[in-house]
Chains A and B, each alone.
Chain A
Amino acid sequence: QQTFNWRMTTTWPAGLPFFQTGPGSATDFARRVEEMSGGRIRIRVYSAGELVPAFEGFDAASAGRQVQLNHGCAYYWAGKSFAAQYFTTVPFGMTFQGHNAWMNFGGGYELYEETYRPFNLVPLVVGCTGVQPVGWFRRPVESLADFRGLNIRMPGLAGDIYNAIGANARLLPGGELFAALERGAIDAAEWVGPYSDRELGLHRAASLYYSSGWHEPATSTEVVVNRSAWDSLPADLQAVMRNAAAACNITSHTWLEAQNADALDDLINNHGTQFLPLPDDVIQALLEATKDILSDNARRDDLVRRVNESYFTFKAKHDRWNQNSETMFQTQIRDLGQQILG
């Protein structure tokens, strides 16, 4: 029987629990694939910089001769194809359930595949952080005016949206994030969520934790597989890969949900962190900026237009169902239930 010895680069520095080492992470995916395939697929995982710098793994897997897979987030490749943004998460988009429903059964995955076809890559959804908070702020933001000139560490699309409402999106290496926030070189920063942010020590740098994250409602992680490598797999091993990915997706999400619940209590009770909502006028302005930027890009590129349409058509439908199921449950039913059941 043929065995496959593959290399997987990642966009993560060594040691991040959610992305790199914990349940449902990159190394967990590699381990599951090896176990489920009875050792016929062996994947060696490389942290960012070990083989290639953090954001070069995509091209490496695309070439596919040295590196067959890359673990990361699709929105890192928005500079290669703007449509990739949608498969990680969409500002003001859908949360875990809706996003995954769209990906699996709403036409999302087919578009995902189409987006990566020119890059000779097959995508697999392998994880989800769930809703991310807005981020850590050093001073309160009570109105839109407070965002004028606010220095915020925010990469990607959300950074541009913040710029559109008058803030300054800053690019900073991960190592400088804590220092810059703590010292006031930036006024606000976002990372992942209570658990991961606490690992980074952001709660020691700022005490106001704004939520809930309009910008990343369901950040998904991906493994991209070189298409030739993928095609060389027999059907049973392709099934192994898909099932390991699906398992990691749910494992990582549920694991982080549990960790975040713990971390939230710890932050509030032991570290004086305050959770706050964003003011309505800010959300309004962010929404308008988002709409402009998304429709601008959709006008410019046919693929983006189709992805955008598919996403928001599905979202409209799913929102109606969600409104009458999840949303209602999480508000009326849950709140009344808490009064009696605790």
Chain B
Amino acid sequence: MYLFLHRLERVLYRITSISGWVAAVSMAALILLVFGNMAARYLMGFGAVWLQELEWYILSLSVMTAIAYAMRADEHVRVDIFSSRLNRKGRMWLDMLTMTLVAVPVAILVLYYTWPFVQTSYVRGERSPNAGGMPWTFLPKAMILLGFFLILSESIRKIISVGRRLSFHYRRPANPPRNRNHAA
């Protein structure tokens, strides 16, 4: 069981790492695309509707893959006036409760509501209302699914990781072994 959780944690860690990488690469692509679209129009008088719309597609990809990665980096807007007074254990419990009681249910709910939204768009073959625009409107819509799936996966990773540290904390014997450096 412990081994399974350990492996799962590592897999989920990899998933979040990959999503951060995708977010960064697509962010670079986004910057170049917006710049390229502008340059093409000003310098060559060339512009295509689908290339403008592609900007939103990439924005949604970058943003939705970035959130899980930012979660792991703990880049959050939060008010820590009280929580900063908690000790390490207290903060771990806060993380544990936030992830299990809030993050996981929120992610599952958003996935639940988004699934039919994406499915409808896919089944109907929805495309841009602008002629010459992008096909596959379901793709940017599906990014919401991807994003919250990654949030869910990162939340589970955090639960396992905090749980491991907490159980370690409680299992630790009352008199911890003496400092190894000292012994050596």
Contact = CB atoms under 8 A, between A and B. Distances in A.
Given A79-B137, A80-B124, A151 B129 contact: no
Interface in A57-80: 59, 62-63, 75-80
A241 B130 CA distance: 31
A118 B130 CA distance: 21
Given A59-B120, A151-B41, A169-B132, A80 B126 contact: yes
Contacts of B127: 79
* Interface size classification for chain B: 20 to 34
Contacts of A119: 124
Contact of B129 (A62, A148, A156, A163): A156
**Would you call the interface of chain B mostly helix, strand, loop, or mixed?**
loop
B49 A79 contact: no
Interface size of A as a range:
20 to 34
B49 A163 contact: yes
A149 interface: yes
Nearest to A297: B131
B46 A168 contact: yes
B131 A159 contact: yes
Most chain A C-beta atoms within 10 Å of own C-beta, residue among B48, B52, B127, B129: B129
Nearest to A293: B131
Interface of A: 55, 59, 62-63, 75-80, 118-119, 148-149, 151, 155-157, 159-161, 163, 168-171, 293
11 contacts: A59-B117, A75-B129, A78-B129, A78-B131, A79-B128, A79-B130, A79-B133, A80-B124, A160-B49, A169-B49, A171-B53
Interface of B: 41, 45-49, 52-53, 117, 120, 124, 126-133, 137
